[in-house]
Amino acid sequence: MSFSLSHPINTALLLYTLYLLQRTVFPSTSVPRKPPTEFKSGYSWLPRAHAPTVLFTTYTPHTLTKFDGKDGGRILLAIAGTVYDVTAGRGFYGPEGMYGNFAGRDASRGMAKQSFDLEMLTPLDKPLDKLEDLTPEEIENMKGWIEHFSNKYIICGRLVENDAAL
């Protein structure tokens, strides 16, 4: 078998090999080594601040209530024992949002039953709702919400009973 430049594929391979060799031996110096400065006064490609770090934490109904967004802070809610940081959805889950009563609470029953009524919330001094009386359709509703929250918001903790050791 012999190598011949008369075949177009061989010629193309040789040219490509020479190009790669040239790029390796003589790398381009046209790439700027400093950040761009043309937008210094108004636009920056760097973020103003690093996003806050979220630490996975164990919450009880009592410790979760302070994350209701009423102070302008973080908004957390729980579904089926998983706590989500829904602060990014403040318009929905904040004090004035349509799901605002779920902020800082276990929203499992309300999400399963598609109800925003306050009686859907388990009182803070009672054990966590076991959700044993939900219909298969309601359980599917809740699973749909879990999937939605898991894909959209940060999972930041788990919800346990008030008397559980943290």
- The correct answer on CATH 1.20.120.50 for the domain covering 57-159 is no
Q: What is the Cβ-side half-sphere exposure of residue 105, based on CA atoms within 13 angstroms?
A: 24
Q: Write out pLDDT tens, residues 33-83.
A: 666 565 555 555 566 666 667 889 999 999 999 999 999 899 999 999 999
159 pLDDT higher than 90: yes
pTM: 0.68
Q: What are phi and psi of 89, to 5 degrees?
A: -100, 35
Is 158:81 a contact under the CB 8 Å cutoff? Answer: yes
pLDDT band at 112 (very low <50, low <70, confident <90, very high): very high
pLDDT band at 29 (very low <50, low <70, confident <90, very high): low
Euclidean distance between CA atoms 35 and 158, whole angstroms:
41
Domain boundaries of the chain, sorted by first residue: 57-159
What is the token pair recorded at 149?
């929250």
